[in-house]
A = this chain, B = another copy of it.
Amino acid sequence: MTRYKMTMAYDGHLFHGFQKQPNQRTVQGTIEEALEKMTKGKRVVVHGSGRTDAGVHAKGQVIHFDYPDKAGKVIPAQNMMLAINSQMPTDIVFFESEIVDQNFHVQYSTKGKWYRYIVDQHHFTDPFNRFYTGHFPYPVNVELMREASKDLLGYHDFSSFAASGGQIVDKRRTIYYVNIDQDPDRKEIIIDFIGSGFLYNMVRIMVAALLEIGNGKRPVHDLKRVIEAKNRQEVRGTAPASGLYLYHVFYEEIPEKYRLDHKIY
């Protein structure tokens, strides 16, 4: 058996999320089917760094799997990637591949995750970006959003930002970095979050709350109060899945430039 770690991008809009489910088209299911073909019927389990929901995209999802060696021969990492890519539908592509030892686990070895959210600010949805952005046509003051985002940094109980349905009891996480950019030509707002981990729907709920602040619907430092409240009812909105990208998974230490949380304590 050889363990492969691979990095991939996918367009989530025609998948029912990452995780395999019966009778649904999923990312994990699609890859496992391809591997089963390649091994001529041997089952190969694909592990992901984490799930992504239906409609959510990835620019840097990471998986690992153990592939049976054939007569003691190991397939080189690049050849394995080409072989898998040629089996993939056009909404999945692998772009990095390496052989790792059995101690590496794509979920448990993570040091952090980077999510990106792209907001489309056109009055009417941009036809070419409707599957790849979340539409919010109302005016926003990005400076207010930037100020508000500082309240998310650091180690907090994020219960107010976790959709019900998750099975995780400990809702404490660290957010290391939030950055908010505006692209006036494309009428987009790009919000990056780097953290130790994220709860179910957490990024989409944070985006909804930040947009409400930018739109003047909440006071600029309301997120302090919302975090304290530990109550999901404090933020009702959830930004659409279409704008969300799993952008990068850190197996290296989070670089110092992304440790804004250090600067506030």
Contact = CB atoms under 8 A, between A and B. Distances in A.
A91 B127 contact: yes
Interface in A72-123: 85-86, 88, 90-93, 122-123
A73 to B, nearest CB: 25
A126 B10 CA distance: 9
B85 A128 contact: no
A124 B95 CA distance: 9
A218 to B, nearest CB: 27
Nearest to A94: B124
A125 interface: yes
A226 interface: no
Interface magnitude class on chain A: 20 to 34
Is chain A's interface secondary structure helix, strand, loop, or mixed overall? loop
A93 B125 contact: yes
Nearest to A57: B128
A11 interface: yes
A130 interface: yes
A90 B85 CA distance: 31
A126 B93 CA distance: 7
A9 interface: yes
A132 interface: yes
